[in-house]
Amino acid sequence: MLLLGFGGIWKLQHRIDGQRAALYQEKNDLVLRSGPMLKLMSLEYAPLVADLYWTRAVQYYGDKHRRGDADIQLLWPLLDIATTLDPKLIVAYRFGSTFLSESPPRGAGRADLAVELINRGIHANPEYWRFYEDLGFLYYFHFKDFAKASAAFLEGSNRPGAYIWMKVLAARVLEGGETRETSAFLWNEVYNSATNPDIKQNALTHLQLLRADSDCEQLTAIAAEYEKRAGKRAGSVRDLVNAGVLKSAPLDPVGFVYVFDGEGKAQLNPASPLSQQKPRYLKPL
Amino acid sequence: MSRVGVVAWNTFREAVRDRVLYNLVFFALLMMAAAILVGQISIGIEQIVIVTLGLSAISVIGSLIAVFIGVGLVSKEMDKRTLYALLAKPVRRWEFLLGKFGGLLLTLAVNTAAMAAGLFAALAYVKHPLVRSDAVVLVAVYFVLLKLALVVALALLFSCYTTPLLAILFTAGLYVSGMFVTEMRGFHSEAMSPALQTFLRWLSYLLPNFENFDVMGRAAHGEAIPGSLVLANTAYAAVYCVILLTAAAAIFSKRNLK
């Protein structure tokens, strides 16, 4: 009887779930948006509540990211509350700034808020040098403000435990502005330090696009040289291989052969997954 | 064994026999297990969640035991009429109260130690090996115990002259008030008279300051707690408990038990 009863409950619940899914409307809202008020109400449990808000921010972002929904308006209030409740919650500042700064649909496209969040992190944890790295990163990639980026790297390099390359980076950014090498160095640093798979994958895609960009530049130059000598334009990479200019057809980082456009410029193969990713990412140099 | 010790030991044994205690310990261990799961659905806070959830569980469960059993320490003995048999023996009323306080404190210490062991087991599970800085969690657990001692003393004081329900309300009220002492001290408003501001300032020093024992954030981030603070908090809790227990003994001594 019991088994039969629970079997019936199981079937009924499935039916109810189906009906509820059809009626489902997203109800994402925050009843309380004031971090200081929540801190008072949390009594001594503010650090635990901060963890819950951070987890909610991660789930909220992950859910939106999975569904390709670019409307991430609640992300900032969630991060604001989490970091107000626990100003030492380093992870919320660092990952939060990534979620905020990346362009939609991978993030909120609010690099200004990301800078604000990192500055708050610096205010609460002035000795943590990685925040300066993140700040420099934001100024470098999102605002192209190389003076501020360089200043952030330099400021961070004076903090305890900072890596020596922060000083080098400060000088390089100030002198050369945005270069492929500097961008690759920064993304490589993100890739190596990230523990979250999504952020690691994001950095890897950026690195792959930078490498593809470099390959295309070289291929275009080789094709131009070939056109000058042979008197005809290479229609494909295979033409360059057949002519003995290249030993083999170079592949992009995910294994697809590059192609040439009508003007003889090398570009990613439209069949390559990187080609679809490119417009959604920051435009590499 | 002294008379206070005998009362304390029997209070402890009675509490251990009480199944509610076992359920609460089991609940605390369940919370530790939940902490591990919560860590899986978030990013980069696995260890922090273990510490904050573990310390919160220890604090909440300990407070519930301290308040609900604390207010029943005297009234239960009176309801069961065992108090009269006990006081007919050469046991002074203040000795009885002190014994009850010590017994419940011992129960809480054992309970807290068991929960702390669970917390460290969970911490070792997600972060191996444990490092020296993790010892700060032990300090936080000790501070929770100091806080619980104050709560028991408050509950005992109120249970000496009022009903258990009112004693619970008064204890809980003072506990919550004691979490806002800093706000009370720093609260300034133009509409408020200087006399009221002075009164609030004095009141903030009279109320038990439970904020003193709040080091959960530091413990979660592995930040050291100075030894001087440990000593000062220990002294604060001890002095405040002495005041409360003296007041409780004075009230209980004059109470007509007929």
Q: Is A142 part of a structural domain of the chain?
A: no
Structure tokens at B230: 């440990």
pLDDT in tens, A46-61: 999 999 899 888 888 8
Q: Tokens 């697809």 belong to which residue?
A: A256
For chain B, what percent of residues have pLDDT higher than 70?
A: 92
What does the mean pLDDT of chain A come to?
Answer: 84
pLDDT in tens, A23-40: 655 555 666 678 788 888
Q: Is A238 on the interface with B (CB under 8 A)?
A: no
What does the alpha-carbon distance between residue A115 and residue A100 come to, in Å, rounded to a whole number? 9
Give the amino acid at B135.
A
A285 — pLDDT class (breaks 50, 70, 90): very low
pLDDT in tens, A10-27: 888 888 877 776 665 555
Q: Is A141 part of a structural domain of the chain?
A: no
- Owning domain of residue A57: 22-125
Give the amino acid at B187.
F
CB under 8 Å, gap of 24 or more: what pairs does B171-178 form?
A: B171/B67, B171/B70, B171/B71, B172/B67, B174/B207, B174/B208, B175/B63, B175/B67, B175/B151, B175/B208, B175/B210, B176/A43, B177/B207, B178/B207, B178/B208, B178/B209, B178/B210, B178/B211
CB B115, CB B21: distance < 8 Å: no
**Which residues of chain B make contact with A46, given a CB cutoff of 8 A?**
216-217
CB A50, CB A89: distance < 8 Å: yes
What does the alpha-carbon distance between residue B149 and residue B140 come to, in Å, rounded to a whole number? 14
Please judge whether A47 and B220 are an interchain contact, meaning their C-beta atoms are less than 8 angstroms apart: yes
Structure tokens at A245: 């200019």
What does the alpha-carbon distance between residue A252 and residue A269 come to, in Å, rounded to a whole number? 8
Q: Is A146 part of a structural domain of the chain?
A: no
ipTM here? 0.81
Give the closest-approach CA distance of A92 to chain B in angstroms. 9
**Which residues of chain A make contact with B38, given a CB cutoff of 8 A?**
51, 55
Q: Is A7 part of a structural domain of the chain?
A: no
CB under 8 Å, gap of 24 or more: what pairs does A118-121 form?
A: A118/A93, A120/A83, A120/A87, A120/A93, A121/A83, A121/A90, A121/A93, A121/A94
3-state secondary structure of B83: helix
> By CA distance, what is B52's nearest residue in A?
A48
Question: Of A147, A178, A146, which is closest to residue A282 (Cα–Cα)?
Answer: A178
CB A157, CB A130: distance < 8 Å: no
Extended strands (E) in B81-215: none
Please judge whether A45 and B176 are an interchain contact, meaning their C-beta atoms are less than 8 angstroms apart: no
Q: How confident is the model at residue B254, as a pLDDT? A: 84
Is the pLDDT reported for residue B73 higher than 90?
Answer: no
Please judge whether B41 and A58 are an interchain contact, meaning their C-beta atoms are less than 8 angstroms apart: yes
- Rounded to 10 deg, the angle between the B19-40 and B93-126 helix axes is 30
CB B55, CB B140: distance < 8 Å: yes
B46 — pLDDT class (breaks 50, 70, 90): confident
Please judge whether A55 and B42 are an interchain contact, meaning their C-beta atoms are less than 8 angstroms apart: yes
User: Which of A98, A125, A152 is at the close of a domain?
Assistant: A125
Range from A145-154, A235-244, B25-34, B163-172 carrying the lowest mean pLDDT: B25-34
Widest pairwise Cα distance in chain B: 62
Is the pLDDT reported for residue A84 higher than 80?
Answer: yes
Mutate to test the interface with B, among A40, A41, A44 (most CBs of B within 10 A): A44
CB A173, CB A182: distance < 8 Å: yes
Q: How confident is the model at residue A281, as a pLDDT? A: 59
Structure tokens at A133: 């790295």
Give the closest-approach CA distance of B95 to chain A in angstroms. 34
3-state secondary structure of A259: strand
**Which residues of chain B make contact with A91, given a CB cutoff of 8 A?**
43-45
Cis link prior to A105 (omega < 30° from 0)? yes
Q: Residue A267 — φ and ψ, nearest 5°? A: -150, 170
Residue A136: partners with Cβ closer than 8 Å, 6 or more residues away: A148, A149, A150, A152, A153, A156, A169, A170, A173
> By CA distance, what is A194's nearest residue in B?
B44
User: Which of A103, A125, A147 is at the close of a domain?
Assistant: A125
Q: Is A57 part of a structural domain of the chain?
A: yes
User: HSE-up of B228 (CA within 13 Å, CB side)?
Assistant: 0
Q: How confident is the model at residue A239, as a pLDDT? A: 86
Is the pLDDT reported for residue B57 higher than 70?
Answer: yes
CB B62, CB B144: distance < 8 Å: yes
Cα torsion through A202, A203, A207, A209, rounded to 10: 20
Q: Is A76 part of a structural domain of the chain?
A: yes
Cα torsion through B220, B222, B223, B229, rounded to 10: 70
A72-81, A199-208, B82-91: range with highest mean pLDDT = A72-81
**Which residues of chain B make contact with A95, given a CB cutoff of 8 A?**
43-44
Give the closest-approach CA distance of B35 to chain A in angstroms. 11
From the list B180, B214, B217, the residue facing A88 with the nearest CB is: B217
Q: Is A47 on the interface with B (CB under 8 A)?
A: yes
Please judge whether B38 and A55 are an interchain contact, meaning their C-beta atoms are less than 8 angstroms apart: yes
What does the alpha-carbon distance between residue B12 and residue B159 come to, in Å, rounded to a whole number? 18
First to last CA, chain B: 30
> Where do the domains of chain B lie?
3-252
Range from B150-154, B171-175, B199-203, B228-232 carrying the lowest mean pLDDT: B199-203
pLDDT in tens, A128-157: 999 999 999 899 888 888 889 889 989 998
Please judge whether B176 and A43 are an interchain contact, meaning their C-beta atoms are less than 8 angstroms apart: yes
Please judge whether B48 and A43 are an interchain contact, meaning their C-beta atoms are less than 8 angstroms apart: no
Give the amino acid at B184.
M
A284 — pLDDT class (breaks 50, 70, 90): very low
Q: What is the pTM of this model?
A: 0.78
B174 — pLDDT class (breaks 50, 70, 90): very high
User: Which of A94, A125, A156 is at the close of a domain?
Assistant: A125
Rounded to an integer, what is the distance from CA B3 to the centroid of its chain? 24
Alpha-carbon distance values, A279 to A1, A104, A106, A160, A284 (Å): 60, 11, 12, 39, 10
Give the amino acid at A2.
L
> By CA distance, what is A51's nearest residue in B?
B49
pLDDT in tens, A254-282: 888 888 888 888 888 888 888 877 665 55
The total domain count for chain A is 2
CB A46, CB A86: distance < 8 Å: yes
pLDDT in tens, A151-185: 998 999 889 988 888 888 888 777 767 777 888 88
Q: Is A93 on the interface with B (CB under 8 A)?
A: no
